[in-house]
């Protein structure tokens, strides 16, 4: 098989063009990269400079702040010192005043206390007297009341005791009477039972003895007697 030379040339041309394009692209890419790198270097440099400036600024700020603080401390110390001095003076003045006041007041209180004490002692004595009097009266009243209460209690106790004794006696009496009555009733019942039994026995024996012991004639006579008695008692009247 053979390839058309035209096509072959076309192919060669296409490849050639392509390679040219690729070369161009490669070259531009290289340049771009180079540029980028340079830019990058510049950026880094700038960044470094910025960082440096920042740190310088910070350092300056720190130094300044430190100074300001130091100055403020010094001033504060001065103020404090002056305040302390003022406090000490005031303190001393106050102390003196207080001392004076205390002395004055102490004297006054001492006097007042003495008066108060005297008055209090007088009042106390008077109160004591009154209380003693009251106590005496109260004691007397209590004594009287207690005596009366005891007397009343005695009489009530006596009455109650007597009453209770009476009640108990009555109760005992009642119980005794009841028991007596029950015993008597029981005794009567038993006697009655015994009597009934005896009568029954006598009756039965008599019946048996009599019944068998009567002759026919005696029986007949008893019947005629009964008829006569019945007639007398009105069981029948004579009718012709």
Partner 1 sequence: MKNDSLIYSDILKSLKTVEETEEFSSKIDVLLNSLFKTQAKPLEELLKKLLDLKTSGIIKQAMSVKNINSSDHAAIETLLNDIKKEIQKLRVLKLYLAFDPTTEIIDNIFEWVLKNIGNGIILDIEKDESIIGGAIIVFEGRYKDLTIRKRFEELNLFSAKLMDNLK
Q: Which residues contribute to the site for partner 1 (CB under 8 A)?
A: 188, 191-192, 195-196, 199, 203, 206-207, 210-211, 214, 216, 218-220, 222-231, 233-240
Please say whether the beta carbons of 107 and 99 come within 8 A: no
- Minimum distance, C-beta of residue 228 to partner 1, in the bound complex (Å): 8
CA distance 240 to 238: 7
Q: Which is nearer to partner 1, 109 or 199 (CB)?
A: 199
- Minimum distance, C-beta of residue 176 to partner 1, in the bound complex (Å): 20
Q: Which is nearer to partner 1, 95 or 184 (CB)?
A: 184
Which residues in 165-195 are b (16+ Cβ under 10 Å) and which e? eeeeeeeeeeeeeeeeeeeeeeeeeeeeeee
- Minimum distance, C-beta of residue 208 to partner 1, in the bound complex (Å): 9
- Minimum distance, C-beta of residue 183 to partner 1, in the bound complex (Å): 13
Q: Which is nearer to partner 1, 138 or 210 (CB)?
A: 210
Location of structure tokens 């070259």: 27
Please say whether the beta carbons of 115 and 122 come within 8 A: no
Q: Which is nearer to partner 1, 52 or 207 (CB)?
A: 207
- Half-sphere exposure for 73 (CA within 13 Å, toward CB): 6
Q: Which is nearer to partner 1, 158 or 204 (CB)?
A: 204
- Minimum distance, C-beta of residue 155 to partner 1, in the bound complex (Å): 49
The DSSP secondary structure of 37-86, one letter per residue, reads HHHHHHHHHHHHHHHHHHHHHHHHHHHHHHHHHHHHHHHHHHHHHHHHHH
Please say whether the beta carbons of 214 and 222 come within 8 A: yes
What are the backbone angles phi and psi of residue 4, rounded to the nearest 5°? -60, 125
Q: Which is nearer to partner 1, 31 or 192 (CB)?
A: 192
- Minimum distance, C-beta of residue 203 to partner 1, in the bound complex (Å): 5
């Amino acid at each position: 098989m053979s390839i058309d030379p035209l096509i072959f040339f076309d192919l060669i041309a296409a490849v050639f063009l392509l390679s040219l394009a690729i070369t161009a692209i490669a070259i531009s890419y290289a340049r771009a990269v180079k540029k980028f790198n340079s830019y990058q270097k510049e950026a880094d440099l700038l960044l470094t400079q910025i960082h440096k400036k920042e740190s310088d600024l910070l350092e300056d700020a720190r130094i300044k702040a430190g100074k300001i603080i130091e100055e403020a401390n010094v001033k504060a110390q001065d103020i404090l010192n002056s305040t302390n001095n003022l406090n000490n003076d005031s303190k001393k003045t106050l102390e003196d005043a207080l001392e004076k006041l205390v002395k004055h007041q102490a004297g006054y209180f001492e006097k007042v206390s003495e008066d108060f004490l005297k008055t209090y002692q007088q009042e106390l004595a008077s109160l004591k007297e009154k209380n003693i009097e009251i106590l005496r009266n109260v004691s007397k009243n209590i004594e009287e009341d207690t005596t009366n209460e005891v007397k009343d209690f005695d009489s009530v106790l006596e009455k109650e005791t007597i009453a209770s004794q009476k009640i108990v006696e009555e109760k005992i009496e009642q119980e005794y009477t009841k028991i007596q009555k029950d015993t008597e009733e029981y005794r009567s019942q038993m006697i009655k039972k015994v009597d009934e039994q005896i009568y029954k026995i006598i009756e039965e024996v008599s019946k048996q003895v009599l019944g068998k012991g009567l002759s026919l004639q005696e029986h007949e006579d008893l019947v005629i007697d009964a008829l006569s008695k019945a007639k007398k008692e009105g069981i029948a009247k004579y009718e012709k």
